[in-house]
Chain A
Amino acid sequence: MAAVEGAATGVQSQQHQPPARAVERLNSAVQQQLNLDSIKTRATSLFKAISRILEEFDAISRANAVPKWQDVMSQFSMVNMELFNIVEDIKNVSKAFVVHPRNVNAENATILPVMLSSKLLPEMEIDDNTKREQLLQGMQNLPVSAQIEKLKARIDMIGAACESAEKVIADTRKAYFGTRQGPTILPTIDKVQAAKIQEQENLLRSAVNHGEGLRISGDQRQITSTLPVHLVDILAANDGPQNYSDTSGMYLKNTPPLSSTSNNSQGNLLQASGAQLLGRSAASPSGATVSNSFDNTTASPLQYANSPRSGASMMNTPSPQQQSLQQLQQQQQQQRQKMMQIPQHQQLLAQQQFRQSSMNMGQNQLPQLHDLQGQGQQKFQQMHGQQHMQFSQPLTAQHRQLSSGAMHVNQNQMNQGNQLSRQINQFSSPANNAMFNSAQTTPSQISNMAMMSSQSVFPRMQVGMSGGNRNLPSQNLSDQMFNMGAANSGGMMPLQQQQHSSQGAFGNMQQSGQNLQPNMVQMQNTAQNHPNFQQSRPQNQQ
């Protein structure tokens, strides 16, 4: 408090200095925060109160009376409060100005004596003593000045030793590097080597960041060797290569379950490979068996009420699913992926539709396929002559064979539309009803497919796909067509026309009928070049 008073008076006294000297005042901003005069007044009043109390104590002690502790305590608390208030006010501006006493309160009561004491802690004191003894060994009897001299000499010696050590290190370093690298030659890499390294680096970086050079072609994507431990139970041994985005045909002799499991995903819009579906539906009739006869197909198409296969809604306008799919398909997508997806869905569709047919849908059943193709071809020939499309069996052929030329041809001819539906009734197979129903919606589906590919010139074929797998199966088919006869631009009808109604577009289709033949020839040729195809195609289609 005395300090406060002193500071206050100090400021004030300076204010009374002669004008020649600069008058020191508090910063105007600070002055607003802190009214120095009032602080001074309060400080002086507090000082007077405390001196009065001290006088009272003095009187009491002289009189040897017992002080009334209540009075004493109340007076003390009053004084304490006043001091506290003053300190609080000053704290706002007290960063550089004042020194003020700190109240002793609970938090610092215990540590204050320790902080104020100048004696070292016992441990520190012991350390200090031992160090001092070490230092002054042998010198303690000498006078202090002599001790100082000796210590100084010691310090100088140590300094000199350090300097010489640093010098030696620097010299050695120079010598070491000097001998290794030569005077001022920066190491360089010769250009040839640099170029090689650059090339390797590009390979590596593109491999890591983009996967360049790491993609295996479809032929090699068969799991021929044993799977590593961490993949063994994830990819079942008979799953076969799944879902590789590659254009090679899906015909893999050693992946029979592909078709079997596809039975389970009726009405499933997802593109799931057969292997993936292995674990999904318990109702798979064929289970893990290789052969996938239609007799084994699972639940009826009516499983999904919304599915076009249910028959009731066959003639409706394309469902939102189709429309949204159309939007999806309108992007540029890899044809390979489409190719990938198609076989699976084609299987699904064909199986679902023809479940009662006696034809086998086993993709990898070569003999069965052979028969199927034979049938397909027969139909094809009929159709070709009549320019009629007959759905059922040729469609199954289409579904099964990715690269079948017959498929393509049939597809082309199927574009001739409504006539097909009429002809469907000719078939005795009850599955034809499903075919018929599904066929009605296929134009839209096909056109959806077509919109996806920017190259589409071909009329979209009406593949008898059920609504469940609407767009996906035909994608690949149409893409295959593109692959096969992409160069063909023989006036194929635009897709949009097909999209809207199954009946309306057929007038257009007939116009293209004439064009189909050369196209078909082309496709057949290219189809025949397909390696898988050659395995199963018995003869020329026509």
Chain B
Amino acid sequence: MECVVQGIIETQHVEALEILLQGLCGVHRERLRIHELCLKSGPNLGLVASEVRLLCDLEQPEPTWTVRHIGGAMRGAGAEQISVLVRTLTESKVSKNALRLFYSLGYKLDHELLRVGFAFHFQRGAQITVTVSSVNKMLKLHATDEAVPVTPGIQLVEVTAPASSENYTEVVAAVSSFCEYLAPLLHLSKPGVTTGVVPTAAAAAASLMSDGGGTTL
């Protein structure tokens, strides 16, 4: 299971966000370049079409592959009250012929995208990962070098933390409290819920980017 929230930020403020995250997390950022292939199963594989994502990490010297299956989100009155989405997630590292395997199982490529950005991994009540990335699409199949952003002026911010059914409340609390620190720059919400940009983002970004200013004592 994982807890996840998403938000958007204008590209011009990404640097300020990075500075803020650097200060909050205390770790260095890691560059992110992930080619994500979303495969959908064919009709011979069960009653319901299933979706599987293959992620290839292109930042590593040797591209590493991960398979991920995103399951249903937690439902119910309790789930509606919390501002974080809790959903089942199965993830595993796989060898690079996973794509062939899924194709031969009957999965088809539904869409693919390329995420370029950076990520912070740190521990703050829970193991939290914040990724800020520009989502790019490929006009030609698999042409990752010629990817263009889906929305050039806006980047996606995602905060995720793994959880289990026993401790998800603590993880939710940790993620929520962390998100409050980012409030001056962006609002985070469950995937699928639009937030818009934050009006104070420009001012907050400016103050983060400036080198102090103010009057000397």
Contact = CB atoms under 8 A, between A and B. Distances in A.
Given A203-B150, A208-B156, A211-B38, A272 B194 contact: no
A153 interface: no
A243 B156 contact: no
A69 B89 CA distance: 72
A243 B194 CA distance: 33
B120 interface: no
Interface stretch (A124-132, A181-189, A404-412): A181-189
A243 B59 CA distance: 27
A41 to B, nearest CB: 51
A328 B43 contact: yes
B109 A209 contact: no
A329 B44 CA distance: 8
B63 interface: yes
Given A223-B141, A242-B103, A215 B154 contact: no
Given A207-B113, A228-B142, A269-B44, A213 B137 contact: yes
Contacts of B35: 228, 230
Given A198-B194, A271-B44, A472-B44, A245 B108 contact: yes
B194 A230 contact: no
Which of B43, B104, B113, B151 has the largest count of A CB atoms less than 10 A from its CB?
Answer: B43
A54 interface: no
B150 to A, nearest CB: 5
A21 interface: no
A216 interface: yes
B215 A175 contact: yes
B137 A214 contact: yes
Interface string A196-227: 01101111110111010111100011111101
A189 B197 contact: yes
A215 B100 CA distance: 20
Interface string B139-172: 1111111100011011010000000000000000
A276 interface: yes
B141 A272 contact: no
Q: A interface, by DSSP: helix, strand, loop or mixed?
A: helix
A209 B192 contact: yes
Interface stretch (A9-17, A309-317, A330-338): A330-338
Given A213-B137, A341-B42, A272 B106 contact: yes
Contacts of A271: 42, 44, 106
B81 interface: no
B77 interface: no
B96 interface: yes
A157 interface: no
A230 B191 contact: no
A216 B139 contact: yes
Given A172-B214, A222-B141, A337 B42 contact: yes
Contacts of A463: none
Interface in A146-178: 168, 172-173, 175-176
A273 interface: yes
A273 B111 CA distance: 18
A95 interface: no
Contacts of A338: 43
Contact of A231 (B142, B151, B195, B203): B142
Interface string A321-361: 00001001101011001101100000000000000000000
Which of A216, A227, A452 has the largest count of B CB atoms less than 10 A from its CB?
Answer: A216
Contact of B196 (A180, A194, A224, A275): A194
A21 to B, nearest CB: 52
Nearest to B194: A201
A111 interface: no
A243 B46 CA distance: 17
Nearest to B49: A333
Given A204-B151, A244-B109, A329-B43, A189 B199 contact: yes
Given A189-B197, A202-B194, A328-B44, A227 B113 contact: no
A235 interface: yes
Contacts of A186: 199
Contact of A208 (B42, B58, B113): B113
Contact of A234 (B100, B195, B197, B215): B100
A63 interface: no
A272 B108 CA distance: 10
A173 B214 CA distance: 8
Contacts of A269: 44
Nearest to A168: B217
B142 A205 contact: no
A270 interface: yes
Contacts of B138: 216
A229 interface: yes
B91 interface: no
B150 A204 contact: yes
Interface in B70-122: 96-97, 99-100, 103-113
Given A213-B137, A243-B107, A337-B43, 16 more contacts: A180-B203, A187-B202, A203-B150, A204-B151, A207-B151, A214-B111, A215-B110, A216-B138, A216-B140, A229-B63, A234-B100, A244-B108, A271-B42, A271-B106, A280-B104, A475-B43
10 contacts: A176-B215, A209-B192, A214-B137, A220-B140, A222-B141, A228-B35, A228-B58, A328-B44, A331-B47, A341-B43
A-B CB proximity, top 7 nearest: A230-B63, A211-B111, A214-B111, A243-B108, A333-B43, A245-B108, A200-B151
